């Protein structure tokens, strides 16, 4: 059984920044709902292969192929046999106000999506867009955003988030 969902939202940044963030597959773990870890295995121009681990299945990794058209589309999908087990597509369009209209579409086999967890973007694409808006706010380039750097204490110690990238702070001996 295939499940399809989609959502759209205006994101307060230029289309170029939205594209840059959505095509940074190694950073998915830092902001995308349900993703525990993400790693780029190979990248060439408008194609990449990434490895994702989902919070719902720690230790189980999924390899996805990623295709993108600069400033327009970012697609991540896994293939099993001849059909994708899931497909996540982001369409990006500039608005007259200089912001980006982002539409996320996902589709996948119910069994595969269940394995990824219901707290993931696959269960709620709108949640993924809200996370993208929060990420954009850390860049300080959008109206009303002033959070460029943030330091917080976690169970693992101090973490610094600078322009959307998280760093583990360690004491100097």
Report pLDDT digits (tens) over 83-113. Answer: 567 888 999 999 999 999 999 998 877 777 6
Q: How many domains does the chain have?
A: 1
The number of CA neighbours under 13 Å toward the Cβ of 127 is 14
CB count within 10 Å of CB 86 equals 22
In angstroms, the CA 1 to CA 3 distance is 7
In a domain, 162, yes or no: no
Token pair belonging to 60: 């189980």
What is the number of residues in the chain? 173
Give the domain CATH number at 71: 3.30.530.20
- Name the 3-class secondary structure at 101: strand
pLDDT at 27 over 70: yes
Cα 127 to chain centroid distance, Å, stands at 11
In a domain, 93, yes or no: yes
Q: Are 151 and 64 in contact (CB under 8 A)?
A: no
Average pLDDT over residues 60-70: 89
In a domain, 156, yes or no: no
Task: Return the percent helix, strand and coil in the chain, to nearest 5.
Answer: 20, 50, 30
pLDDT at 137 over 90: no
pLDDT digits (tens, 9 = 90+) for 68-82: 998 899 988 886 555
Which of 73, 30, 37 has the alpha carbon at shortest distance from 55? 37
Domain ranges, residue 85 = 2-147
In a domain, 80, yes or no: yes
Rg (alpha carbons) of the chain, rounded to whole number = 16
In a domain, 157, yes or no: no
In a domain, 92, yes or no: yes
- Please classify residue 173 by burial: count the beta carbons closer than 10 Å to its beta carbon, then call 0-12 exposed, 13-18 middle and 19+ buried: exposed
Name the pLDDT band for 144 (thresholds 50, 70, 90). very low
Query: Beta 157-162 vs 73-80: how paired, if at all?
Result: unpaired
In a domain, 133, yes or no: yes
């Amino acid at each position: 059984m295939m499940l399809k969902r989609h959502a759209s939202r205006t994101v307060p940044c230029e289309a170029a920044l939205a594209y840059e963030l959505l095509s940074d597959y190694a950073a998915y773990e830092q902001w995308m709902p349900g993703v525990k870890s993400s790693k780029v295995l190979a990248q060439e121009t408008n194609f990449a292969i990434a490895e994702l681990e989902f919070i719902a299945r720690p230790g189980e990794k999924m390899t996805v192929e990623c295709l993108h058209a600069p400033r327009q589309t970012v697609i991540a999908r896994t293939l099993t046999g001849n059909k994708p087990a899931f497909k996540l597509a982001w369409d990006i369009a500039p608005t007259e106000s200089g912001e980006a209209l982002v539409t996320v579409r996902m589709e996948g086999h119910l069994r595969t999506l269940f394995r990824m967890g219901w707290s993931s973007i696959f269960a709620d694409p709108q949640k993924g867009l809200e996370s993208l808006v929060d990420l954009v706010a850390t860049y300080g380039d959008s109206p009303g955003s002033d959070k460029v750097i943030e330091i917080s204490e976690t169970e693992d110690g101090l973490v610094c988030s600078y322009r959307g990238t998280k760093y583990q702070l360690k004491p100097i001996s």
